[in-house]
């Protein structure tokens, strides 16, 4: 026996000795290059990220292609037949909307309209809020839980930020009218799909025709894509002016896109750009007074 063996009284002492010497991992019979393992894991994560990006890009392209399919004579950018909305529902939406002679009649028409499946799961119709003679109309994405409960658009956290944004350029709900691309809350606050947006679009367009504002502001992606018939992200489209017109309107109106306040709550770094856009809106409004 040597001096080391003399001191070992139990196998656990051997392990303790290894541990003290920095040997804390069992090794196999074959040598293993752990740098290769790290590289393999990284490559796997890269491949997964690429696949997710590709899927998101395909979904985005499908949506924006539909949004860009603007037929001659009107700004209907989504084709309901492509997204499973029956002809009957769309025909009925167009008829009901065009018959409305004022916002009260339009609201009544929507109350009696069963062509949008979102109605089945929502508590309330969220028609709109503000001044029916406003110079500025804002169209957001879709009502959320607070809006569904109260039957009013933009009353939750993002609504409070929207009010502040409007306030910064001297506007409030007595000087604007606010609504959404769809009039009922999508379950779980998901983004409304193209079919839901398409079947509500005749009502949104009629709302804009009846109010006849000087400026239309689309708030976030879905409203921007469906009403302005533009592809791409709001970050690319904001700060620019487009024209919005329906066959029933006597003249086009100035339209622009802004970041959705929910996005700004998540990404406060973009607030600087958003406030710049608001100043652009203020200047445009001054041209109309
Ligand atoms: N987000 C919207 O786009 N609309 C609302 O009414 C509320 C939150």
Q: What is the pLDDT along the chain (289 residues), one digit of tens a residue?
A: 555 555 667 777 777 777 777 676 666 667 766 556 545 544 443 343 333 334 433 443 454 444 333 333 334 444 444 445 678 999 999 999 999 999 999 999 999 999 999 999 999 999 999 999 999 999 999 999 999 999 999 999 999 999 999 999 999 999 999 999 999 999 999 999 999 999 999 999 999 999 999 999 999 999 999 999 998 999 999 999 999 999 999 999 999 999 999 999 999 999 999 999 999 999 999 999 8
CATH number attached to the domain at 46-64+71-287: 3.40.470.10
37, two tokens: 């393992």
The pLDDT of residue 151:
98
Site of tokens 């409070």: 160
The pLDDT of residue 65:
42
Task: Round to whole Å and give the CA distance between 237 and 228.
Answer: 10
Q: Distances in Å between the alpha carbon of 269 and those of 10, 141, 261, 265?
A: 62, 21, 12, 9
Write out residues with Cβ below 6 Å of ligand 1: 140-144, 147, 153-154, 156, 158-159, 180, 262
Q: Which residues of 179-194 are buried (b: 16+ CB within 10 A; e: fewer)?
A: bbbbbbbbeeeebbbb
Output the residue whose Cα is nearest ligand 1's atom 3.
141
Residue in 269, 120, 106, 276 with CA at minimum distance from that of residue 184: 120
Q: What does the longest C-alpha to C-alpha distance in the chain come to?
A: 106
- Measured in Å, residue 257 CA sits from the centre of ligand 1 at 15
The pLDDT of residue 10:
76
What are the boundaries of each domain within the chain?
Answer: 46-64+71-287
- Measured in Å, residue 268 CA sits from the centre of ligand 1 at 18
Q: How many helices (H) and strands (E) does the chain have?
A: 13, 6
């Amino acid at each position: 026996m040597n001096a080391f063996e003399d001191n070992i009284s139990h196998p656990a002492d051997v392990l303790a000795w290894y541990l003290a010497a920095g040997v804390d991992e069992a090794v196999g019979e074959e040598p293993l290059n752990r740098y290769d393992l790290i590289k393999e894991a990284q490559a796997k994560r890269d491949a997964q990220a690429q696949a997710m990006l590709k899927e998101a890009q395909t979904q985005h392209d499908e949506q924006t292609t539909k949004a860009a399919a603007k037929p001659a004579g009107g700004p209907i950018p989504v084709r309901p037949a492509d997204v499973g909305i029956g002809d009957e529902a769309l025909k009925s939406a167009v008829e009901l909307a065009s018959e409305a002679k004022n916002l009260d009649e339009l609201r009544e028409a929507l109350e009696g309209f069963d062509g949008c499946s979102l109605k089945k799961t929502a508590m309330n119709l969220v028609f709109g809020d503000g001044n029916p003679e406003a110079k500025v109309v804002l169209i957001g994405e879709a009502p959320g839980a607070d809006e569904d409960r109260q039957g009013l658009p933009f009353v939750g956290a993002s609504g409070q930020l929207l009010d502040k944004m409007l306030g910064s350029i001297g506007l409030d709900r007595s000087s604007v009218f606010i609504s959404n691309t769809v009039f009922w809350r999508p379950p779980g606050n998901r983004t409304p799909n193209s079919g839901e947006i398409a079947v509500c679009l005749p009502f949104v367009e009629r709302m804009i025709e009846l109010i006849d504002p000087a400026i239309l502001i689309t708030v976030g992606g879905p409203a921007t894509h469906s009403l302005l018939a533009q592809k791409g992200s709001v970050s690319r489209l904001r700060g620019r002016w487009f024209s919005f017109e329906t066959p029933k309107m006597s003249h086009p109106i100035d339209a622009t896109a802004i970041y959705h306040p929910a996005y700004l709550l998540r990404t406060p770094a973009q607030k600087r750009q958003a406030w710049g856009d608001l100043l652009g809106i203020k200047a445009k409004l001054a041209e109309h007074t």
